Structure 1
Amino acid sequence: MARYFTLEQAQSLVPEVRRMLTEAVEARAELEESQQEIAESMKRAHQMGGVELDTERLVMLRKRVGELGGRLKDILQQFEELGVQVKDLNVGLVDFPTKYRGEEVLICYQLNETGVGYWHGLEEGFRGRKRIDRDFLDHHQGDPVH
């Protein structure tokens, strides 16, 4: 069952969400870099018959990939436990489910923002973001107890 957030609940989670998102974005970027370096090293070694294969570096990179993958999995699990939906780790984008006029919608937060200030429908996505206005404040609701 989905958790529905009030605007206040979402806003109160922003510091924790920001910390987690920052860590996840950095881990994802480092993971991609490490995987790319492994792929390039293997390609180069294949092309040169294995002559310039730095096995120590590859072992270290593979270990780091495993660590980073595990860390990302842990962070994503933490988001799931909070009820926050991760949408894009390239830019640090998450959504907080809520109800507006009886329909499920999403309060949207991006890493570079100071707090929650936008929402969108389930099918609209980031491009359909709208500023939170008085009507939204008057007609949205979260779970009664959280």
Structure 2
Amino acid sequence: MPYNQAQVKADSNADHGKKFFSIEEANNSLGYVRRIVDDITIVYTKIVEMRRRLEELGESQFSLSPDSEYEKLMDRLGLLVDELHSMGAELKDFEKGLVDFPSRHKDREVLLCWKQGEDKVEHWHEVDTGYAGRQSIADLK
């Protein structure tokens, strides 16, 4: 993987200063989130393809100059992920376009879950279960 997904976690995981979304707020943010995630998946796909070609040529990413196209794409990807995080959303998967929105339900943190291509936020999961633990939003009510 050309970009370490651990690097894209929000700077602060402490509750202080962390944004928590209502279902309505998460859905209202999707217009903006979609544009960012669309750009992320385009840039990520280019990075994966470029890395594959470089590896075929025997080039190491470490031998690339800082102003190489690969490095520019990596920088762009980082900026896009930062933009998503600055609004409080968390990118979970580059390829699936998977985004979590921290939320609260009955005094505990849960994650509202949206995947690129979905019309609205219709799923959630516990903080420790991830995508595999997705449940219907109706279960929160």
Q: TM-score range by the shorter chain?
A: 0.7 to 0.9
2:37 paired with 1:37: no
Tell me the CA shift for residue 112 of structure 1.
Answer: 1.5
Corresponding letter in the other structure for 2:29: L
Aligned to 2:7: none
Tell me the CA shift for residue 80 of structure 1.
Answer: 1.3
Provide the rounded CA distance (Å) in 2 between the counterparts of 1:132 and 1:3: 19
Q: Aligned Cα RMSD in Å?
A: 2.0
Deviations 1:30-69 (A, max 9, x none): 10111111111127xxxxxxxxxxxxxxx8xx72211111
2:120 to 115, 118, 126: 115
Aligned to 1:24: 40
Provide the rounded CA distance (Å) in 2 between the counterparts of 1:72 and 1:42: 24
Provide the rounded CA distance (Å) in 1 between the counterparts of 2:74 and 2:133: 31
Aligned to 1:99: 104
Q: For residue 10 of structure 1, give the secondary structure of its aligned residue in structure 2.
A: helix
2:27 paired with 1:8: no
Tell me the CA shift for residue 6 of structure 1.
Answer: 0.7
Provide the rounded CA distance (Å) in 2 between the counterparts of 1:90 and 1:103: 29
Provide the rounded CA distance (Å) in 1 between the counterparts of 2:84 and 2:102: 13
Aligned to 2:140: 136
Q: For residue 24 of structure 1, give the secondary structure of its aligned residue in structure 2.
A: helix
Unpaired segments ≥5 residues, structure 2: 1-16
Deviations 1:72-98 (A, max 9, x none): 010011011101011000110010000
Provide the rounded CA distance (Å) in 2 between the counterparts of 1:122 and 1:80: 17
Identity, % of aligned positions = 28
Larger-Rg structure: 1
Paired residues, number: 121
Flag as ranges the 4+ runs of structure 1 deviating above 3 A.
Answer: none
Q: Which has the higher helix share?
A: 1
Q: Which has the higher contact order (CA 8 A, sep 6+)?
A: 1
Q: For residue 95 of structure 2, give the secondary structure of its aligned residue in structure 1.
A: coil
* TM-score normalised according to structure 1 size: 0.77
